[in-house]
């Protein structure tokens, strides 16, 4: 059975490992892939930037406490951070660049700024 080009649906003639009917379709396919991954990266970067701004705004003096409610009200997204730091005592800080947060009891959060 002849394979079909995933871009235009034309039957592919030629070598068995040929994936596209033409260079044009191969390029179109790869460009679309790049576009999708660029969009993904841009969306995640935007979320990280937003999270960073929220932490910066709530923590102007490098150390404070806040609540989950306040973070969520500002649109904070707990799924997006850049690194995790576990202390010797097992506390886990989540960092968005140099702004970190540590979940405390009763939905409180400690906010810290990491000094470089």
List contacts with Zn ion (CB under 5 A). Answer: 5, 7-8, 10, 21, 25
User: What is the rounded distance in angstroms from the CA atom of residue 43 to the CA atom of residue 5?
Assistant: 30
Residue with tokens 């960092």: 95
User: 74-95 burial, b for 16+ CB within 10 Å, e for fewer?
Assistant: eebeeebbeeeeeeeeeeebbb
CB of 15 to Zn ion, least distance (A): 15
CB 20 within 8 Å of CB 5: yes
For Zn ion, which is the closer residue by CB, 7 or 104? Answer: 7
CB of 8 to Zn ion, least distance (A): 3
For Zn ion, which is the closer residue by CB, 15 or 63? Answer: 15
User: What is the rounded distance in angstroms from the CA atom of residue 98 to the CA atom of residue 70?
Assistant: 20
CB of 33 to Zn ion, least distance (A): 15
For Zn ion, which is the closer residue by CB, 7 or 110? Answer: 7
For Zn ion, which is the closer residue by CB, 10 or 67? Answer: 10
99: phi then psi, degrees, rounded to nearest 5: -100, 125
CB of 24 to Zn ion, least distance (A): 7
């Amino acid at each position: 059975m002849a394979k079909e080009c995933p871009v235009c649906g034309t039957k592919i003639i030629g070598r068995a490992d040929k994936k596209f009917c033409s260079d044009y379709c191969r390029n179109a396919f790869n460009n679309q892939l790049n576009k999708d991954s660029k969009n993904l990266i841009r969306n995640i970067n935007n979320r990280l930037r937003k999270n960073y701004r929220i932490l910066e705004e709530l923590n102007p003096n490098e150390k404070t406490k806040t609540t989950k409610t306040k973070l969520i009200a500002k649109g904070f997204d707990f799924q997006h951070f850049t690194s995790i730091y576990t202390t010797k005592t097992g506390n886990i800080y989540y960092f968005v660049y140099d702004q970190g947060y540590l979940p405390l009891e009763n939905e409180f959060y400690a906010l810290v700024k990491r000094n470089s």
